[in-house]
Protein backbone atom coordinates (compact mmCIF):
# COMPACT_ATOMS: atom_id res chain seq x y z
CA UNK A 1 0.00 0.00 0.00
CA UNK A 2 1.57 3.25 -1.10
CA UNK A 3 -0.31 5.63 1.22
CA UNK A 4 -1.88 4.37 4.39
CA UNK A 5 -5.58 5.01 4.59
CA UNK A 6 -6.58 6.56 7.89
CA UNK A 7 -9.68 6.17 10.03
CA UNK A 8 -10.72 9.84 9.80
CA UNK A 9 -11.07 9.51 6.01
CA UNK A 10 -14.33 7.58 6.56
CA UNK A 11 -17.63 9.07 7.70
CA UNK A 12 -19.15 5.70 8.53
CA UNK A 13 -17.51 3.20 10.90
CA UNK A 14 -19.16 -0.04 11.97
CA UNK A 15 -17.84 -2.55 14.50
CA UNK A 16 -16.73 -5.91 13.11
CA UNK A 17 -16.66 -8.93 15.37
CA UNK A 18 -14.01 -11.44 14.45
CA UNK A 19 -14.88 -15.07 15.09
CA UNK A 20 -12.77 -18.09 15.98
CA UNK A 21 -13.62 -19.64 12.62
CA UNK A 22 -12.23 -16.58 10.77
CA UNK A 23 -8.66 -17.64 11.63
CA UNK A 24 -6.90 -19.93 9.21
CA UNK A 25 -4.18 -22.50 9.84
CA UNK A 26 -1.58 -19.70 9.91
CA UNK A 27 -3.29 -18.08 12.90
CA UNK A 28 -4.72 -14.98 11.25
CA UNK A 29 -7.99 -14.01 9.61
CA UNK A 30 -8.10 -15.63 6.20
CA UNK A 31 -8.04 -13.21 3.27
CA UNK A 32 -11.44 -14.26 1.90
CA UNK A 33 -13.06 -13.34 5.22
CA UNK A 34 -12.22 -9.67 4.67
CA UNK A 35 -14.66 -9.70 1.73
CA UNK A 36 -17.37 -10.94 4.08
CA UNK A 37 -16.63 -8.04 6.42
CA UNK A 38 -16.85 -5.63 3.47
CA UNK A 39 -20.12 -7.11 2.18
CA UNK A 40 -21.68 -6.95 5.65
CA UNK A 41 -20.63 -3.32 6.08
CA UNK A 42 -22.04 -2.21 2.72
CA UNK A 43 -25.32 -4.02 3.18
CA UNK A 44 -25.77 -2.76 6.73
CA UNK A 45 -25.46 0.80 5.41
CA UNK A 46 -27.84 0.16 2.50
CA UNK A 47 -30.43 -1.38 4.84
CA UNK A 48 -30.15 1.13 7.69
CA UNK A 49 -29.64 4.35 5.72
CA UNK A 50 -30.80 3.56 2.19
CA UNK A 51 -33.92 1.65 3.17
CA UNK A 52 -32.98 -1.50 1.22
CA UNK A 53 -35.44 -4.33 1.88
CA UNK A 54 -33.24 -7.34 1.20
CA UNK A 55 -36.19 -9.73 1.05
CA UNK A 56 -38.67 -7.79 -1.08
CA UNK A 57 -36.89 -4.99 -2.95
CA UNK A 58 -37.37 -5.25 -6.71
CA UNK A 59 -33.88 -3.74 -7.19
CA UNK A 60 -30.79 -5.16 -5.48
CA UNK A 61 -27.03 -4.60 -5.77
CA UNK A 62 -24.82 -7.31 -7.27
CA UNK A 63 -21.08 -7.30 -6.63
CA UNK A 64 -19.36 -7.19 -10.03
CA UNK A 65 -15.84 -6.37 -8.87
CA UNK A 66 -13.87 -6.46 -5.63
CA UNK A 67 -10.29 -6.09 -4.48
CA UNK A 68 -8.33 -5.79 -1.26
CA UNK A 69 -4.86 -4.66 -0.26
CA UNK A 70 -3.56 -5.99 3.04
CA UNK A 71 -1.02 -4.15 5.18
CA UNK A 72 -1.16 -5.95 8.57
CA UNK A 73 -2.65 -9.27 9.64
CA UNK A 74 -5.48 -9.49 12.15
CA UNK A 75 -6.65 -12.48 14.17
CA UNK A 76 -9.45 -13.55 16.44
CA UNK A 77 -10.24 -12.04 18.96
CA UNK A 78 -9.20 -8.65 17.48
CA UNK A 79 -11.89 -5.99 17.70
CA UNK A 80 -12.19 -4.26 14.33
CA UNK A 81 -14.06 -1.41 12.69
CA UNK A 82 -14.93 -1.11 9.02
CA UNK A 83 -14.95 2.33 7.42
CA UNK A 84 -17.16 2.93 4.39
CA UNK A 85 -17.21 5.64 1.75
CA UNK A 86 -18.30 6.00 -1.88
CA UNK A 87 -15.77 7.06 -4.50
CA UNK A 88 -18.00 6.92 -7.61
CA UNK A 89 -21.72 6.86 -8.38
CA UNK A 90 -22.97 6.10 -11.88
CA UNK A 91 -26.48 5.56 -13.21
CA UNK A 92 -26.67 1.90 -12.17
CA UNK A 93 -23.37 1.33 -10.38
CA UNK A 94 -21.49 2.51 -7.32
CA UNK A 95 -17.88 2.06 -6.25
CA UNK A 96 -17.26 1.75 -2.52
CA UNK A 97 -13.98 2.00 -0.67
CA UNK A 98 -13.61 0.32 2.68
CA UNK A 99 -10.95 0.51 5.35
CA UNK A 100 -10.57 -2.10 8.06
CA UNK A 101 -9.11 -0.87 11.35
CA UNK A 102 -8.17 -2.42 14.65
CA UNK A 103 -10.10 -0.52 17.33
CA UNK A 104 -8.10 2.56 18.23
CA UNK A 105 -5.63 2.30 15.33
CA UNK A 106 -5.35 5.23 12.94
CA UNK A 107 -4.07 3.31 9.90
CA UNK A 108 -6.05 0.62 8.08
CA UNK A 109 -4.92 -2.99 8.23
CA UNK A 110 -6.65 -3.53 4.86
CA UNK A 111 -8.29 -1.39 2.19
CA UNK A 112 -10.89 -2.76 -0.19
CA UNK A 113 -12.89 -1.64 -3.16
CA UNK A 114 -16.26 -3.09 -4.17
CA UNK A 115 -18.43 -2.25 -7.18
CA UNK A 116 -22.18 -2.87 -7.05
CA UNK A 117 -24.40 -2.82 -10.10
CA UNK A 118 -28.06 -2.39 -9.24
CA UNK A 119 -30.23 -4.99 -10.93
CA UNK A 120 -33.94 -5.56 -11.38
CA UNK A 121 -34.39 -8.79 -9.42
CA UNK A 122 -37.09 -10.15 -11.76
CA UNK A 123 -35.51 -9.16 -15.07
CA UNK A 124 -31.87 -9.73 -14.00
CA UNK A 125 -30.72 -6.58 -15.83
CA UNK A 126 -29.03 -3.34 -14.74
CA UNK A 127 -31.32 -0.48 -13.76
CA UNK A 128 -30.94 2.97 -12.24
CA UNK A 129 -30.01 3.11 -8.57
CA UNK A 130 -33.22 3.59 -6.54
CA UNK A 131 -33.60 7.17 -5.29
CA UNK A 132 -33.49 6.38 -1.54
CA UNK A 133 -30.31 4.38 -2.02
CA UNK A 134 -28.76 7.03 -4.27
CA UNK A 135 -29.40 9.67 -1.60
CA UNK A 136 -27.75 7.45 1.04
CA UNK A 137 -24.75 6.87 -1.23
CA UNK A 138 -24.39 10.59 -1.94
CA UNK A 139 -24.09 11.23 1.82
CA UNK A 140 -20.81 9.30 1.94
CA UNK A 141 -19.46 10.29 -1.49
CA UNK A 142 -15.92 11.69 -1.43
CA UNK A 143 -14.20 13.59 -4.21
To the question of domain 7-139 being in CATH 3.10.129.10, the answer is yes
- Residue 17 and residue 15: Cα distance in Å, rounded? 7
The string of pLDDT tens digits covering residues 35-64 is: 999 999 999 999 999 999 999 999 999 999
Q: What pLDDT, on the 0 to 100 scale, is given for residue 4? A: 76
- Determine the average pLDDT of the residues in 92-96: 98
Contacts of 30 (CB under 8 A, 6+ apart): 22, 23, 24
Domain assignments of the chain as residue spans, ordered by start: 7-139
Amino acid sequence: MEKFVERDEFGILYPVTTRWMDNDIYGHVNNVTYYSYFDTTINRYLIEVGGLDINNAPVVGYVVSSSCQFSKPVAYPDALEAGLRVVRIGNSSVTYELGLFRNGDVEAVAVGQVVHVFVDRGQDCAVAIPQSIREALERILVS
